[in-house]
């Protein structure tokens, strides 16, 4: 029997609000197959190597809250939720994992244990149900494992999830969306990838009649500015009285 399940998740369905199961079904129905991003998180340059002008060297990311293994696993999950496709880069290129890592030290600090336990439980579930860690599974098995987690099928005796696996999936999906489409100041939406994807023209503190007309006609060019690039939004206003502001606050 031929396995006709979709090999990728449709980003279009994810942005409409569907989860892994709905997106996989939509991809099967319309024949959409978006390839996941293969961009490495960092590049190690051998000592003495000569870098040609056409080569790009990515600065390695130093994670503050997530371990390297946790960050890699979370990145693999995020790559399925909003993959790179014909519309442009996805969550990984947008720095969604960096956003989550920084926010876990600030506004999302209450979710740190949920990430630690949930990622470990997910990895154990993949090993026990499919015989290998998530990143070593086939594309089909990765998607089916994510669907199990989303629908709660991964919850039960021996699963390792403290509560519903669906709650863990929902938390991760919500934070990946935040990291892809939120203000770049918080570590995600790198190079304004998310805003360009949804054609958001950027933060403007004043909109003239001409700009309003251009916005309504879809002709307003993006300005690629963070809200914090304006003097009207002072970083000090989010400073705690007991500690210095950190990314994610």
Residue 213: inside a domain, yes or no? Answer: yes
Is residue 86 situated within a structural domain? yes
Phi, psi for residue 88 in degrees, rounded to 5: 135, -170
Per the domain annotation, does 85 fall within a domain?
Answer: yes
With contact defined as beta carbons under 8 Å apart, do 74 and 66 qualify? yes
In a domain, residue 214? The reply is: yes
Three-class secondary structure of residue 190 per DSSP: helix
Q: What is the pLDDT of residue 198?
A: 86
What's the domain range around 197? 11-34+63-238
Residue at 244 is within a domain: no
Nearest-angstrom CA–CA distance, 59 and 166: 34
At 24 the three-state DSSP class reads: helix
- Domain assignment of residue 193, yes or no: yes
Number of domains in the chain: 1
The answer to whether 63 and 71 have CB atoms below 8 angstroms apart is yes
The whole-number mean pLDDT for each consecutive block of 10 residues of the chain, a chain of 249 residues, reads: 43 51 41 36 40 48 93 97 91 96 94 95 93 96 95 75 89 96 93 90 80 79 83 50 43
Whole-number pLDDT of residue 125: 93
| Residue in 154, 158, 70 with CA at minimum distance from that of residue 111 | 70
d(CA 93, CA 44): 18
Collapsed DSSP state (helix, strand, coil) of residue 245: coil
The predicted pLDDT at position 223 comes to 84
Residue 47 lies in a domain: no
Structure tokens given for 192: 């304004």
Distance CA 8, CA 27 (A): 8
**142 is a domain residue:** yes
Q: What is the pLDDT at residue 47? A: 45
């Amino acid at each position: 029997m031929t396995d006709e399940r979709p090999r990728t998740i449709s980003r279009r369905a994810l942005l409409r609000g569907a989860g892994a199961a709905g997106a996989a079904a939509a991809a099967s129905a319309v024949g959409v197959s978006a390839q996941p991003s293969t961009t490495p998180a960092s590049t190690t340059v051998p000592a003495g190597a000569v870098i040609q002008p056409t080569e790009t060297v990515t600065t390695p990311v130093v994670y503050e809250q997530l371990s390297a293994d946790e960050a890699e696993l979370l990145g693999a999950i995020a790559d399925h939720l909003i993959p790179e496709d014909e519309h442009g880069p996805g969550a990984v290129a947008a720095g969604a994992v960096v956003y989550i890592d920084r926010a876990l030290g600030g506004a999302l600090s209450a979710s740190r244990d949920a990430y630690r336990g949930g990622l470990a439980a997910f990895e154990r579930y993949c090993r026990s149900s499919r015989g290998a860690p998530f990143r070593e599974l086939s594309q089909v098995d990765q998607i089916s494992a994510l669907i199990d987690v989303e629908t709660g099928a991964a919850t039960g005796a021996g699963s390792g999830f403290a509560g519903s696996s669906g709650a863990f999936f929902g938390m991760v999906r919500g934070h990946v969306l935040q990291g892809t489409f939120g203000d770049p100041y918080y570590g995600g939406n790198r190079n304004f990838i998310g805003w360009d994807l949804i054609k958001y023209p950027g933060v403007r503190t004043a909109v003239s009649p001409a700009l309003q007309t251009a916005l309504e006609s879809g002709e307003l060019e993006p300005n690629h500015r963070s809200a914090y690039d304006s003097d009207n939004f002072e970083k000090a206003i989010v400073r705690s009285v007991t500690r210095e502001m950190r990314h994610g606050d």
